[in-house]
Amino acid sequence: MQHHELRVAYIHQFLKEFGFDDAFAERLQGILDEKKYFPEMPRRCTIVEESDIPQKLGIDWLSCPGHSQSDLVYLCGNDAVSGDVLLRDIFQAPLLDVDMDTFTGRFRNYDAYCSSLLELGKLRKCRILPGHREYVNGLNDTIHFYIRKLLERAGQVKRFDGVESIKEVIGHLFGESLVDPFVIYLKASEIVFMRDFLAEPGKLESSLENIGLSDAVSELYAAVTA
């Protein structure tokens, strides 16, 4: 929030690298600056990683980046408040963004998600309280839904391996049906994530094996990565 202008400038730069022109990036910037999607800075706040307040309240937390770099799961007793980390039947787009730890390049959502799966595996005995749709159908089903969607969409993206421009890939996949700049940004974010996966599919496979969730998606996985 403190570095909003710098963050948006980086997103603008990434979009240009992926084939979008200045006009599109400026339209998206106008939407982001409206604070429709990103809220204003709270008057009173502390950063969780730097605060002792959660511990004083009996709340623990896990860092589970993937959808965004700041994704957290809050733990209180047997309850896990997952926000957008775990959702029922929703593929939460991995956002194209700057790495806010270093401001030296884009945040690598795919690498982060593979690491976060190991943390999510610790929640099997928890009651998961998601940010949308009231409940999830258990940890395994929720992760399997996400992975299946990832693999299905990666298979579609793989058909255009020879197309360098993300903008052109979106055109091949959706034609002229997408007009909202923010929706186009979300789709561009997904395609970048899928291409990172296709470049190193073994990372995800290793994480799934580590938490015992690889068997249910093994056939689809093999078909996409063959």
- How confident is the model over 142-152, as pLDDT tens digits? 999 999 999 99
Place of tokens 């593979």: 114
DSSP 13: H
Question: Quick check: 137 pLDDT over 80?
Answer: yes
Q: What is the edge-to-edge ordering of all strands in the sheet holding 79-83?
A: 60-63, 72-76, 79-83, 127-130
- Where does the pLDDT of residue 3 fall: very low under 50, low under 70, confident under 90, or very high at 90 and above? confident
* CA separation for the pair 101, 89 (Å, rounded): 30
Task: Quick: pLDDT tens for 74-97.
Answer: 999 999 999 999 999 999 999 999
Predicted pLDDT at 211: 96
Note the pLDDT tens digit of each residue in 155-169: 999 999 999 999 999
At 222 the pLDDT is 95
As a whole number, mean pLDDT of residues 193-219 equals: 96
* Residue 128, CA distances (Å) to 13, 48, 179 in order: 37, 20, 35
Split into its structural domains, the chain has a count of 1
The pLDDT, as a whole number, for residue 31 is 87
- Residues 6 or more apart in contact with residue 182 via CB below 8 angstroms: 28, 31, 37
Residue 114 and residue 201 in contact, taking contact as beta carbons nearer than 8 Å: no
Q: Which residue has the higher pLDDT, 5 or 94?
A: 94
* Predicted confidence (pLDDT) per residue in 15-68, tens digit: 999 999 999 999 998 888 876 667 778 888 889 999 999 999 999 999 999 999
* Amino acid identity, position 28: L
Integer Cα distance of 21 and 4 in angstroms: 21
pLDDT tens profile 113-128: 999 999 999 999 999 9
Domain that holds residue 149: 4-225
* pLDDT in the model for residue 75: 97
